[in-house]
Amino acid sequence: MPVPTLSMDKRGPIAHLTLRRPESQNAIDGALLEELSRACEAIEVDDDVRVVVLVAEGEHFCLGWDAALLDRESGGPPADPFGCLAELPRPVVCAVQGDTLSAGLELALACDIRLAAEDAHLGLPETKLGRVPMGGGSQRLARLVGRGKALEMILTGEPVEAREALRIGLVSAVAPTDKLAAEAEAIAGRIAERGPIAVRYAKEAINRGLEMPLEQALRYETDLTIILQTTEDRAEGVRAFLKKRKPKFKGR
């Protein structure tokens, strides 16, 4: 049987996805994209999963596309190859180490929260090779760090170090390499304790609202709030607050 290039395992309410091609610096090939799509489908229908953590084995998170996928005869990667991850209703926490380049950074950009090891370098070097980012990088990077910084990174093709990535908002935190996984797990654990419906709606409100005029986005936020008021979790949150105890959310 072929060795999977992406593994998934559940630990309580957290689903862990791991890139498992360290011998190729976790280069992204067609098999990995298929496995990622299947994993996202499984997570989407699993009500027990509240948060996803994405990590990679080896020294580097991912150095980009597998050469075979970029061969002219292969047709290249599909449009928005990491959209399945970006569109998950559950939050996705990504922890990157070493070099996180090209498709590696585009994969991380499809996640909701990014953490970086102190040794991480993040970039989209495609222009150095006469290409442009083809996995959503030109769009998601600009929406995250702003037009000016995205243009600088993509046009020069130069990566940024972890501390600079933190300064520009590309990552949320920087941690020692040996503590990176624990930091990602801690953040995921805190999210998993929150009301799962509220978390899902909050992610939806931000992601969809950014594409709307402010007035329309505010109405959308209000609509989600009204729907949330009818849930059991909302009532449980009120009861727990009044009784000064930890809420027991059920996702209903």
The residues annotated with a catalytic role in the active site are: 106, 126
Residue 8, CA distances (Å) to 5, 201, 204 in order: 10, 25, 24
Give the separation between CA 83 and CA 21, rounded to whole angstroms. Answer: 21
SS3 (DSSP) at 28: strand
Helices (H) and strands (E) in the chain, counts: 11, 9
Give the separation between CA 84 and CA 12, rounded to whole angstroms. Answer: 22
Q: Which of 240, 90, 108 is nearest to 180 (CA)?
A: 108
Share in percent of the chain as helix, strand, coil (round to 5): 50, 15, 35
Cβ atoms of 141 and 94 closer than 8 Å: no
